[in-house]
Structure 1
Amino acid sequence: MNTTPPSLPARESLTVEFKSDRKRLSDNDLVEAVVCLANAEGGELWLGVEDDGTPTGLHAEHLQLAGLGGLVAARTSPSVAVTVTPVFLGGVNVAHIAVPKGSAEVSTSGGVYLRRRIKHDGTPECAPMLPHDRASRTAHFGLADASALPVAGATLADLDPLERERLRQSVQQYGGDRVLLDLDDEALDGALGLTARQANGMRAPTLTGLLLVGREQALRDLVPTHEFAFQVLAREAVGFNEFRRFPLLKALDWLETNFRPYNPEHEIQVGLFRVPVPRVDFGAFREAVANALVHRDYHRLGAVHVRLDDGGLTISNPGGLVDGVTLANLLTTEPRPRNRALADAMKRVGVVERSGRGVDKIYRGMLRFGRPEPDYRRTDSQNVVLRLATVDADEAFLKLVVAEEGRLGTSLPIDSLIALAALRELKRLTSEDLAAHIQRDIAQAKRTLETLLEAGLVQAHGATKGRTYTLSPGVYMADGNKAAYTRQAGFSALQHEQLVLNYARQHGSIRRSEVVELCRLTAPQSRDLLKRLKVAGQLVQHGERRGAYYTLAEPAQG
């Protein structure tokens, strides 16, 4: 089977390493370069290429590449399975070595741990993996849970009785596991993993214990990575900027108390009920802040930031998404907490969503008010960054959602809410379009749209193939915007035909892609329209497939 040889990148990057082989790169240096890439994102190692990207060729001893993969596997732990491909570039032979991302921290057989990183000037380097780097990477892959382990030097005296009482009050306030209220301190510690038994039989506070009910001074001394900030910026002026190291339940109370004056709300009437309309939904705010505090990487220095500015609310935390979670599956992947013991304790207290679907709650808190969906696009391997827009709510859309939820007697499914919000913004969708929004397959997207169709909230246009959907006329009428419905529902078939004929008359010809843009139709619908006009003798086809174009038919001679 013919395969295209790999192409040489223009420069080195986080995932690209060039190694000169003119003086024969030593086996140790080669293996360390592989380890370095494997402990980051994986990538490609080009042997026989200078740092500036110039191919200079392989040393004579490396021209036989057959044993190179075995060498790397034998001298890495756990073994790294690389793929070696010979490539002929610039008149010389070089080797392309594809390095997979390690599923755990990788070292050389001599115990050397390295990782690839980007320096302040934007260039890559291989740096030693220090103990906290290795622990962080282990947690990233879900292979260890630091929050369940005793904290070195911590004693029971570092736990605060006042914070224990706050914990019990939080169980009542947030509707947590009421069984916890009947337990004494020692049993509560065991149930929530606040302490762990040591080899000598004594109990010692875990990281979860210190973070939930620890004294502030103990947190400063024993968990120096724990810090959070609340900042308010208005027109480049700093209105509020405070950093704290409170235990987590006190932290949430403090953040909510300070955020409340900046979160005004008013009420609207929906039927017999008055519905509050805040600047930011408090349920979404609490879930987002709690997620940042619970899922941050406690091996890394850096604060959790809660920042309000003129454009919206930004919540960020150190530590990227854990392995297996991406921006493309954030809504659908199974919960994978970095700090499992801490997350479980917070769920039992009732502070975070007990189903593990806290992201759904954040989405719901934005979309039901007709605001843009939560924005995670600034998230990278080092930080999770969430942006919540604080634009005015779409009250007509909120009334629609509240009315439908009242009819159903329950909250709208998150997929349906996303579909309605996407139709509100984009005006027209196909099942394929919606599938990308809800991060599910096309079949599930179609079921969601058809359910909304049956409920009278959306209207379908076209046959099964190429079918599109808009909000129903009833939705636009309820908003007092009949003209908007007319625009989005589109023209009649006769009007489409006249548009196409007029375009062909004015421009001499028309293509299917131009019909798609002109009539706002799908490609299959445009093809059917052109075929109908051709059969009727009004258009003449020239060419086939993608090269086809259509002109007006000559009038019949009398």
Structure 2
Amino acid sequence: MTQRLPPRESLTVEFKSDLKKLPDRELIEALVCLANAEGGELWLGVEDDSTPTGLHAEHRLLEGLAGMVAARTSPALNVQAEAVEAAGVTVARIRVPKAQGEVATTNGVYLRRRLKHDGTPECVAMLPHERASRASSFGLIDVSAQPVAGATLADLDPLERERLRQAVQQYGGDRVLLELDDEALDGALLLTARQPDGSRVPTLTGLLLVGRETSLRQLVPTHEFAFQVLAQQAVRFNEFRRFPLLKALDWLETNFRPYNPEEELQVGLFRVPVPKVDMGAFREAVANALVHRDYHGRGAVHVRLEDDALVVSNPGGLVDGVTLANLLVTEPRPRNPALADAMKRIGVVERSGRGVDKIFRGMLKFGRPAPDYSYTTAQSVVLRLPTDEADLEFRRLVVEHERTTNAELPIDSLIALATLRELKRLSADALAERIQRDVTSAKRTLEALTEAGMVEAHGATRGRSYTLSASLYQAVGNKAAYTRQAGFSPIQHEQMVLSYVQQHGQIKRAEVMDLCRLTEDQAWQLIKRLVSAEKLVKHGERRWSFYTLPGDD
């Protein structure tokens, strides 16, 4: 088969010349290198500048290549090789899957592919901490439950233990923890691990939660966080710390509050605070960054207040199986399970593991844009919380609805309302993409909002679309916007179509869609009614169809 080659090498594309027969060792190492990154393709018989020069005679029979690769890698790497014609010569495309863990050559060589500062790829040795980091991102090991070399019980701070107990009370955590002595508490939260000789040694979780600051500096040198305030590129606050995590959260919250002004909204007899950043979302975002960061690599957790957003970032990308496309619905997959579980039991983070929902709720209930994870890379998770002006009337409506029903609006409903505020009109298909669920779930959400009087449905079931209800537009003093979005009645649609045909002689379905702002199915139903009522006459078939008034043939 003839194939166009990729234009250049990348993280997932490798070119290897085969003019002098590429040694098997180099080929195996290049395949291992790809597998320990994101997988990809190795093109054998192609020069570094993407010029195809062909396979060596000894490589033209590709049937045994996959077996050779499997025999010389551990665990066995399963590749697929096929011959491809390019510019008149035969080259081989070898597809390499992403290793679910780590893979080495049988000579014990561990390599990984990475991008250099100029964007070109290279293969480098996988160092021990990088291997451990990769294993933890796949959930193969829990580094937070492991004893820390060189640590003793003297590295744990009694004052931080007391802070932990106070945090359980403050955040409504597992009150059983308050009844335990220090040793039992250590066991319950995996703050220490029992050694074969019966002694106890602090784990990474123990040091991060109740360790002395001096011990953290020495024994967990990768732990660091920063709070920064930037105003029009000027730095107003910029401090780095290495506190234990509960003290870190207190310190960050205390320093953030002066930069987080509140206004009040009167709803009936109640005053509802409207902060610049919802403190529940702030706490969840910061705690998630500290809990789920990669503690194998250097780099600080950054909490940065910019002119238009609060930005929280942490070293280490999303763990395997979690993507931007399933962030709202995937099962929790913590990089550091023991640490995450301890923070849940203390009550600092969402007990259900659905902290992302809490962050979304903290933004959307004030009529602000949704949290933005789009700056996330393989090396870091970046969360932006826009600090746009709150929509006070929208907030009032949400509060009134939740007080009437005595229940919070589901997160999918908040996303639907926020999307309708942005796009004005919405289909179930479009909402399904926003809430990362199937169309049936999206329809249920929209129909529930319709029954609640917050949304109105337009059109037939198949081509149904939705807008915010007249009552919502009326509540925010924008009746004209409702009329624009709700559109015209079916009778008005018929008159518009007939008037168009009188003026132009004929009309096509695409023109009906554009004229009346209807979906394809809605336009078809309108035309069908007019033809059945003998107000229009059809000419032609399928996409060549057009319609005229009777007697205009």
- TM tier, shorter chain? over 0.9
Q: Which residue of 421, 436, 442 maps to 1:445?
A: 442
Question: Could you report, residue by residue, the CA deviation over 1:441-481 in whole angstroms, capped at 9, with x for unpaired residues?
Answer: 11111111111111111111111111111111111122222
Q: What letter is aligned with 2:289?
A: A
Residue 425 of structure 2 aligns to a residue whose secondary structure is coil
Mean Cα displacement is larger for which, 445-454 or 143-152?
445-454
1:85 correspondence with 2:82: yes
Mean Cα displacement is larger for which, 284-293 or 462-471?
462-471
Q: What letter is aligned with 2:203?
A: T
Residue 196 of structure 1 aligns to a residue whose secondary structure is strand
CA contact (8 A) 1:232 1:240 kept: yes
Question: Residue in 1 aligned with 2:91?
Answer: 94
1:521 correspondence with 2:514: no
Structure 2 matches for 1:322-471, cutoff 5 A? Answer: 322-471=319-468
Structure 2 matches for 1:123-162, cutoff 5 A? Answer: 123-162=120-159
The CA distance in 1 between the partners of 2:179 and 2:2, in whole Å, is: 67
Q: What letter is aligned with 1:550?
A: F
Q: What letter is aligned with 1:105?
A: E
Structure 2 matches for 1:37-116, cutoff 5 A? Answer: 37-116=34-113
Q: CA deviation at 1:439?
A: 0.8
Q: CA deviation at 1:505?
A: 6.1
Residue 347 of structure 1 aligns to a residue whose secondary structure is helix
Q: CA deviation at 1:232?
A: 0.5
Q: CA deviation at 1:63?
A: 0.7
Q: Structure 1 residues 311, 542: closer, same or farther in 2, change over 3 A? A: farther
CA contact (8 A) 1:46 1:94 kept: yes
TM-score normalized with structure 2 length: 0.97
Question: Could you report, residue by residue, the CA deviation over 1:303-359 in whole angstroms, capped at 9, with x for unpaired residues?
Answer: 101111111111000001000101111111111000000000000110000000000
CA contact (8 A) 2:507 2:548 kept: no
Residue 450 of structure 1 aligns to a residue whose secondary structure is helix
The CA distance in 1 between the partners of 2:504 and 2:149, in whole Å, is: 79
CA contact (8 A) 1:541 1:548 kept: no
Q: CA deviation at 1:500?
A: 3.8
The CA distance in 1 between the partners of 2:347 and 2:281, in whole Å, is: 14
Residue 447 of structure 1 aligns to a residue whose secondary structure is helix
Q: Which segments of 5 or more consecutive residues in structure 2 lack a partner in the other structure?
A: none
The CA distance in 2 between the partners of 1:374 and 1:361, in whole Å, is: 11
Aligned residues: 553
Q: Which residue of 176, 184, 188 maps to 1:187?
A: 184
1:550 correspondence with 2:520: no
Question: Residue in 2 aligned with 1:33?
Answer: 30
Q: CA deviation at 1:549?
A: 5.2
CA contact (8 A) 1:268 1:277 kept: yes
Q: What letter is aligned with 2:259?
A: Y
Residue 426 of structure 2 aligns to a residue whose secondary structure is coil
Q: Which residue of 165, 187, 204 maps to 1:168?
A: 165
Q: CA deviation at 1:512?
A: 3.2
1:258 correspondence with 2:252: no
Residue 81 of structure 2 aligns to a residue whose secondary structure is strand
Question: Residue in 2 aligned with 1:248?
Answer: 245
Residue 208 of structure 1 aligns to a residue whose secondary structure is helix
The CA distance in 2 between the partners of 1:499 and 1:11, in whole Å, is: 54
Q: CA deviation at 1:200?
A: 2.4
Identity of aligned residues (%): 73
Q: Structure 1 residues 64, 185: closer, same or farther in 2, change over 3 A? A: same
Q: CA deviation at 1:534?
A: 4.3
The CA distance in 1 between the partners of 2:74 and 2:515, in whole Å, is: 60
Q: CA deviation at 1:499?
A: 3.7
CA contact (8 A) 1:229 1:243 kept: yes
Residue 91 of structure 2 aligns to a residue whose secondary structure is strand
Q: Structure 1 residues 544, 14: closer, same or farther in 2, change over 3 A? A: farther
Question: Residue in 2 aligned with 1:317?
Answer: 314
Q: CA RMSD in A?
A: 1.7
Residue 378 of structure 1 aligns to a residue whose secondary structure is coil
TM-score normalized with structure 1 length: 0.96
The CA distance in 1 between the partners of 2:435 and 2:181, in whole Å, is: 44
Q: What letter is aligned with 1:87?
A: V
CA contact (8 A) 1:20 1:50 kept: yes
Q: Which residue of 287, 300, 303 maps to 2:300?
A: 303
Q: What letter is aligned with 2:36?
A: N
Q: Which segments of 5 or more consecutive residues in structure 1 lack a partner in the other structure?
A: none
